Amino acid sequence: MNNIITFGEVLMRISPRGNKKFIQSNNVEFYFGGTEVNVGISIANFGGNVKHISCISNDFIGNTAVSYLNKFDLDTSAIIRSPRPLGVYFLEVGAVMRPSAISYNRSHSSFSEIKPSMVNWDKSLENGTWFHWTGITPALCKGSKDTLLEGLKLARKKGMQVSADPTYRSGLWKYDAVPREVLSELVSYSTVFIGGVNEINELLETDFSFSNEDFIAASMLLMEKYPSIEKVFDKIRTSINSSWHKIRARMWNGNEFKETLDLDITHIIDRIGTGDAFAAGIIHGLQKFDDFKTMEFASAACAIKHTYMGDVNYANEEDVLSILDGNTTGRLRR
């Protein structure tokens, strides 16, 4: 019985080890990721039951990807297999003032041929109580947007919670669509908004500032425009450089504003997927904790993700709660 549903592209990430560039070494490592499946795996590691829906290549690379999801005990039974290759991204990991760089090979991937007719949403959402989507899926192609929309409509009809991470990544939108309109429609089927002032400004064509006051005002306006939205959770990253960030969070749940203290990540191991760890923390937290503890849990989940290689968060619930209990000095566990 898998009640958490994630839907989105699974990508293979290929990266040289240890901050090297591709031109420096032909020894590379691969991982699997993709924003929605990152969220799914992270929730599974917290103890949740997760089904991930995707379209994956029908070759040994696709087999490896599915096996990777199985490893984390995700339900992979609804995954569609396609003759097209799995999407790939190449990553060069930066350090200090050198930014990390990504090059994508995903525009004709197996996921890019998904269409509503390929997903049996009725069956897929059978035991579902939560559906999570992000702004990446509708950006990829019309088929993925339409498929997602169909899923969201059914999810809402069934009374499921719907969390939205409506990141707008301009470089991705290549089919004929107005991103704001698409995202707006999708947000209108959502109940939890994981995003901040930037995302709201994008949606509402407003120009709220980054202050807490404006965050509250923006959130209120968002809830006014999209009455299904009940809560807004915003993650705030302070980047000293590529290797050193700070993370905190703030929220507006219709009644109260709260914010956390900064968590100081002095030695980043891998910053990919840290936003997804935050989203997973919100989704998992809302099923067990109050709103403030949920936000603290998500913030700590985001922070600890920076210490794991790869796209996914390996922390379990206990690992994250321990940070909330103040155990941030890294005392050895025997």
* Token pair of 249 as six digits: 């969070």
Cβ partners under 8 Å of residue 202, min gap 6: 166, 168, 180, 183
* Sites for a copy of itself among residues 82-121 (CB under 8 A): 85-86, 88, 90, 92, 94-105, 107-108
Nearer to a copy of itself by C-beta: 93 or 192? 93
Please choose, out of 46-54, 145-153, 155-163, 257-265, the segment that lies near a copy of itself by the rule CB under 8 A: 257-265
What does DSSP assign to residue 127?
T
* Sites for a copy of itself among residues 181-200 (CB under 8 A): none
> Which helix (H) or strand (E) is 309 found in, with range?
none
The distance of closest approach from Cβ of residue 127 to a copy of itself in the complex, given in angstroms and rounded to an integer, is 17
The distance of closest approach from Cβ of residue 135 to a copy of itself in the complex, given in angstroms and rounded to an integer, is 14
d(CA 214, CA 203): 15
The distance of closest approach from Cβ of residue 63 to a copy of itself in the complex, given in angstroms and rounded to an integer, is 6
64 binds a copy of itself (CB under 8 A): yes
Give me the residue label for tokens 């956390």: 260
Nearer to a copy of itself by C-beta: 60 or 123? 60
Please choose, out of 125-133, 137-145, 185-193, 322-330, the segment that lies near a copy of itself by the rule CB under 8 A: 322-330
22 binds a copy of itself (CB under 8 A): yes
Strand partners, 104: 89
* Sites for a copy of itself among residues 134-163 (CB under 8 A): none
Give me the residue label for tokens 């691969």: 30
The distance of closest approach from Cβ of residue 129 to a copy of itself in the complex, given in angstroms and rounded to an integer, is 22
Helix residue spans in 141-268 (DSSP H): 142-157, 179-187, 197-204, 212-225
Nearer to a copy of itself by C-beta: 123 or 334? 334
Instruction: Give the residue, chosen from 3, 8, 46, 72, that forms a contact with a copy of itself under the rule CB under 8 A.
Output: 72
169 binds a copy of itself (CB under 8 A): yes
49, 59 Cβ separation under 8 angstroms? no
The distance of closest approach from Cβ of residue 213 to a copy of itself in the complex, given in angstroms and rounded to an integer, is 25
- 94: nearest Cα among 272, 302, 265, 263: 272
Compose the 295-314 pattern: x for residues touching a copy of itself by CB under 8 A, - for all others.
-----x--xx-xxxxx---x
Compose the 28-57 pattern: x for residues touching a copy of itself by CB under 8 A, - for all others.
xxxx-------------------------x
Size, binding site for a copy of itself by CB under 8 A: 84
264 binds a copy of itself (CB under 8 A): yes
* Sites for a copy of itself among residues 231-250 (CB under 8 A): 239-244
- 196: nearest Cα among 273, 321, 282: 282
d(CA 182, CA 284): 27
Strand partners, 130: 4, 161
277 binds a copy of itself (CB under 8 A): no
- 164: nearest Cα among 74, 255, 283: 283
Instruction: Give the residue, chosen from 129, 198, 206, 328, that forms a contact with a copy of itself under the rule CB under 8 A.
Output: 328
- CB crowding 46-74: b at 16 or more within 10 Å, else e: bebebbbbbbbbbbebbeebbebbeebeb
